[in-house]
A and B are shown apart, each in its own frame.
Chain A
Amino acid sequence: MRILIAEDDFASRKFMLKFLSKYGECDVTVDGMEAVDAFLMAMDADMPYDLVCLDIMMPTLDGYQALKAIRDIEKDRGIPEEECSKIIMTTALNEGANVNKAFDLGCVAYAGKPIDQVKFESVLRKLDLIS
């Protein structure tokens, strides 16, 4: 599985990297813009990410914008829904409005920080990303 992690905070980034490395090859970006670039690159190389973890509060391009951009790119390229990357937002913003907004924008899961690893894994399982 190929994983993209976008996270501006160093500690969180390191945690996510460590946590997710056991499931696949992780790429790390530090802001939303870079994440979108990385996503495009991977797509061009025909090696799209299976899982994208986006922080919301990031410089340059925040998580919502990155999420929207990624979904737009996928739509633009006519990728069928079931083949789209699974996107999980990872953030400390737990307000209902934020969560619903992210769902509306097309993320599949929304993980509040500090991240509950057990539940996170069970979501990955439900998404058939890990067995």
Chain B
Amino acid sequence: MGDDMITEGMLDMFIFETEQGLENLENICLDSKDNGEFDDDHVNEIFRIMHTIKGASAVMMYQNITTLSHKLEDVFYYIRENQPENIPHAELLDYIFEVSDFISGELEKIKNGMESDGNADDLIEQLDAYLGKIQGNPAGAHAGDKGTQAAPVSVPAEKPHFYIAPVASERSMFYLIDITYSKNTDMANIKAYIAVNALKGIAEDILFTPADIISNPESANVVLEFGFKIALQTTAAADEIMELVNSSASIEQVEINECTSEEFIDFCTDAEAPISSAGEILMEPIEQPTVLIDEQKPETIVLTEEEKDTFAQKAKSEKDTGRKKAPKSPGKRTAVKKGETQSFISVNIKKMDLLMDLIGELVIAQAVVLQNPDLQVPGLDLTNFQKSASQLSKITSELQDAIMAMRMMPLKNTFQKMNRIVYDTSKKLGKDIELEVVGEDTEVDKNIIEHISDPLMHLIRNSVDHGIESNEKRMELGKTEKGKIILEAKNESGQVWISVSDNGKGLKREEILAKAKSNGLLGNRSEKDFTDKEVYNFITLPGFSTKKQVTEYSGRGVGMDVVVKNIQEVGGILDIESEEGKGSIMTMKIPLTLAIIDGMIFSVSGTNFVAATNSVTEFIRIDEQQVIVEPDGEEYVMIRENCYPLIRLNRFYHLEHGKDKMEDGIVIILSHEDRKIAIFVDELIGEQEIVVKPMPNYIKKVRGISGCTQLGDGSISLILDIAGLVTE
């Protein structure tokens, strides 16, 4: 769980479980929205989810959530038991979403430490009316009551449980305090107790070893020898604690260290076990005194088993030491988690990033070793070296794959959210739209997921709002098929492509051009010169919207530029294809990973450059005649009837002594999206995995350079920004 979540265990669990329940609920609803009804499994599942939420919120004393979920449970109870025909499905879905939204809203409040004060009465009334309707009884409220009374019959009678959350206090801290008394102190145990006593005023929770300081005078020696250790949970600051503790002259040293709640609990568990008089009671296996909801049972059994073990262990340690035991309560966390989650650990993303960086460095270091100039001595027998070298390369590349895989997450969750957006937006706009999701199991880097969620939402909304015509309009146009949006993800040449396509009206080239013209974006090029792509790209400029009317969802002309900015942040591009009257396809093309790429290395008058291998389309040696020089000095090359703009890197970067004759060097054709350019370089050096490093801050942005990297021989190489060069 994230750092920003409240630390209160019980509340955390409630929120986590309820959120999961709601997520399931939404998915079920969206799955079934086209079927026009819920099947039996769905009804049961929804009933179960609402039942769980009802129970949990009652325990947590969130009355509003309890009543609301109870009401929805009633509705589903009726549906389950009586299987009424022809229930208005869409209406029901709306209610479910409203309930889910209400509860999410309340959860959000609770998470932020506020009171859950939302009022669900209206919604409950509506649900009552709805229940009345499906019961065929127009006197809604009355029928609803009947439902309420009927419901508990099927539910196993539960004992009421209440959990009273502590009043919100400042975030408490955990400290481990270590007090050392000078060796000649009398009654160190009493002094220690005084310190503990002083702390009790500020303590939310306090534990100490040795624990028997009052009852056992011998403990004075233990305190003198090993020091006195206190674990303290408090909202007070360290210096306040110091002041309270450090009041006795015989104290030699006080150490106060902040610790995490886990360490605090460890301290509790490490402290000695409960007193012997309770031993017999403890040894008895704990029965199952409470009636529980079915699905919780297995978990509870596991829990009690564990409890037994722990108690048995305690009893054992008690025999072993034979000492008087301190009272304590086992503060175990592990039992909370369900079986399947125990095999997961959550890791701070920063640590993952660090690991990623280190592996990047490792790849460089490996290249430095394996291509070390010292190995270039002629006649050196490197057979064994090469063997171990290839083994090393294999391991590092596996290591890279492993870390990449670790950061990968399926797009499923992100895509599921879109489902809801399409549903909501299309409903509001009165359009009949279905969403098809393809390739939701495609995995991408977690970082990228975070960056694409917003842009994706924009694109989807745009499609629903602007792309797809209203039902009437479609009818008019003779479009028989339903409005449809396809959300697709796939892996394509080291990139992930996420596309949103619709069968709506598409982009209007003329309209966009007209708008661009009025905004003065066309410059002095003629309208015909613009490719469709270029025209469509206008809509990604800030403040550009051809839509005259602003709707709630889109049309303000912000949006597309934000989308593009977001995508560019993760090194991706937005590709727009469209056909007027048929629909458009917006594709986000995002590199799978940002850090390590395959690069082609070449040199120009002693300077090394790298270009990403997947953008290199061919190498070709040409002669001077194939170069066409325009009057303004721009050069083009003709290769097999295709004309490419030519950039001579040595002139471009003002490098002296580069090869000038076409016959001496080599031309590389690079492509970016659909555009290609030719660059002229001195010679090719090789292909290698390179670790992309940003340009250092003290260098201003250089044209055509996106970063740099270190090569095997330790030299620096510049990475060409092909997108930048292409648009030059």
A residues with CB within 8 A of B? 9-11, 31, 33, 56-65, 68-69, 71-72, 88, 91-101, 103-106, 108-116, 119-120, 122-123, 126-127
Contacts and interface: CB of A to CB of B under 8 A. Distances in A.
A112 B162 CA distance: 11
Nearest to B275: A60
A112 B200 contact: no
A71 B277 CA distance: 18
Contacts of A68: 281, 286
Given A96-B10, A106-B289, A9 B164 contact: no
Q: Which 8 residue pairs across A and B have the least CB separation, nearest first?
A: A112-B166, A111-B164, A109-B162, A95-B9, A97-B335, A96-B13, A96-B336, A59-B327
A98 B10 CA distance: 9
Contacts of B11: 94
Given A97-B333, A122-B61, A116 B164 contact: yes
A119 B233 contact: no
B303 A100 contact: yes
B377 interface: no
B105 interface: no
A57 B327 contact: yes
Contacts of A92: 166, 204-205, 233
B328 interface: yes
A61 B275 CA distance: 7
Given A33-B277, A96-B336, A98-B329, A112 B307 contact: no
Nearest to B17: A96
Contact of B329 (A60, A63, A112, A127): A63
A31 to B, nearest CB: 8
A123 B331 contact: no
A106 B159 CA distance: 9
B277 A60 contact: yes
B274 interface: yes
Interface in B586-643: none
25 contacts: A10-B200, A11-B200, A57-B328, A59-B327, A61-B275, A61-B277, A61-B327, A68-B281, A68-B286, A94-B166, A97-B9, A97-B332, A97-B336, A99-B9, A100-B303, A104-B286, A105-B289, A106-B289, A109-B161, A109-B164, A112-B8, A112-B163, A113-B204, A126-B160, A126-B162
Contact of B165 (A105, A108, A116): A116
B10 A57 contact: no
A109 B336 contact: no
Nearest to B212: A59
A2 B406 CA distance: 59
B278 A119 contact: no
A115 B290 contact: no
A104 to B, nearest CB: 6
B380 interface: no
Nearest to A71: B289
B288 interface: yes
Given A100-B300, A109-B163, A110-B163, A93 B331 contact: yes
Contacts of B286: 68, 104-105
Contacts, number: 145
B345 interface: no
B671 interface: no
Interface string B378-404: 000000000000000000000000000
A94 B204 CA distance: 12
Contact of A116 (B167, B201, B274, B290): B167
A129 B332 CA distance: 32
A10 B196 CA distance: 13
Contact of A95 (B159, B204, B304, B336): B336
Contacts of B327: 31, 57-62
Given A9-B200, A97-B303, A112 B10 contact: yes
A92 B205 CA distance: 7
Contacts of A104: 286, 288-290, 300, 303-304
B289 A57 contact: no
Given A60-B327, A104-B286, A95 B333 contact: yes
Contacts of B9: 94-99
B282 interface: yes
Contacts of B200: 9-11
B278 A65 contact: yes
B169 interface: yes
Contacts of A112: 8, 10, 163-166
A32 B288 CA distance: 22
A98 to B, nearest CB: 7
B12 interface: yes
A62 B328 contact: yes
Contacts of A98: 9, 329, 331
A93 B300 CA distance: 19
Contact of A115 (B167, B332, B333): B167
A115 B163 contact: no
A64 B61 contact: no
B365 to A, nearest CB: 45
A7 to B, nearest CB: 13
A108 B169 CA distance: 24
A119 B332 CA distance: 26
A11 to B, nearest CB: 7
Contacts of A33: 277
B64 to A, nearest CB: 13
Nearest to A10: B200
Contacts of A93: 205, 329, 331
Interface in B46-88: 61
